[in-house]
Homo-oligomer: A and B are copies of this chain.
């Protein structure tokens, strides 16, 4: 038997120890960013969905390490891909993920994959079908650049940002708050920050309206991680109750699993929440000098007020910058010698 590939698919792909070690390397890279470790090596970045931060930071991550990235937009300049096995491929997709994964593995030393949920069914999306297909068939390490379920490069950057600002995250209270948004967004970011914060033993306060519960398995995994690390996960259905004493307010909108196939019903229910679930300076002032985090892109004055983003409580730019440093540390871990 060959060893399984060290794919990086979710926040639990790295143990707490491995993550802390990775942060040390990321902080070294922040000080001395230009390296030659990956000279001659290439990463393929496969995007099924749009990206600004991820595509730019991954490309520059490879460059600053002496390597090279090739960015592929699936369906724009490339073929559409089928991921299901055993299909008679007489529809739209001209190529199967199996071939794409096996062929790209001959050209590159690592593959980054971005693939959002298709939103046809949560039962399907929670299997992370595209990412899983690449992970199954690729012969090189896969890096999840945001799938249906997880955005683990983001949650690495998130925790590094928290650690830089308040020291050890262990035991520190973080609010992960749902926010109003005109669209039903993926759950990859809340799932990931939830698991990552739990892994680090933070006091996690997950705030969302009733009806916007995260996946039950993710919740149970988060609880388990929290217990193991001496932290906790508590759900709040009132945003105001979650704020007092928090050190971090992490806002993110996501769609409702309960109404996954009923977008009109979700829109109807959501309308009443628009005023309440939007982060304002009043929320921030209820915290213990807390700072504001968001993975970006963020809709100003919908998810969060200008006043918060334009204040020095905004940690989003540091958080985005840390994407670069943690990804470089990750690439060195996967590809370095």
In the complex, which residues of chain B have a beta carbon less than 8 angstroms from the beta carbon of A53?
Answer: 103
Residue of B nearest to A53 (CB): B103
Q: How far apart are A278's CB and chain B's nearest CB, in angstroms?
A: 10
Interface centre among A99, A104, A108 (most CB of B within 10 A): A99
In the complex, which residues of chain B have a beta carbon less than 8 angstroms from the beta carbon of A63?
Answer: 42, 68
A336 at the interface (CB under 8 A from B): no
A190 at the interface (CB under 8 A from B): no
Q: Which of A93-109 contact B (CB under 8 A)?
A: 94-96, 98-100, 102-104, 106-108
Interface of A is mostly: mixed
A29 at the interface (CB under 8 A from B): no
A64 vs B41: C-alpha distance when bound (angstroms): 8
In the complex, which residues of chain B have a beta carbon less than 8 angstroms from the beta carbon of A99?
Answer: 296-298, 309, 316-317
Q: How far apart are A253's CB and chain B's nearest CB, in angstroms?
A: 11
Q: Say yes or no: B79 contacts A55, CB within 8 Å.
A: no
* Given A182-B90, A296-B103, CB of A34 within 8 Å of CB of B44: no
Q: Say yes or no: A296 contacts B95, CB within 8 Å.
A: yes
* Given A56-B72, A89-B300, CB of A77 within 8 Å of CB of B51: yes
In the complex, which residues of chain B have a beta carbon less than 8 angstroms from the beta carbon of A324?
Answer: 106-107
Q: Say yes or no: B50 contacts A79, CB within 8 Å.
A: yes
* CB pairs A–B below 8 angstroms (18 shown): A33-B40, A42-B60, A50-B77, A52-B104, A53-B103, A55-B70, A55-B78, A63-B68, A76-B77, A88-B301, A88-B302, A89-B302, A90-B182, A94-B297, A96-B298, A99-B309, A103-B316, A103-B317
Q: Residues of A at under 8 Å CB distance from B?
A: 33-34, 39-40, 42, 44, 47, 50-53, 55-57, 59-60, 63-64, 68, 70, 72-73, 76-79, 82, 85-90, 94-96, 98-100, 102-104, 106-108, 182, 296-302, 306, 309, 316-317, 320-321, 324
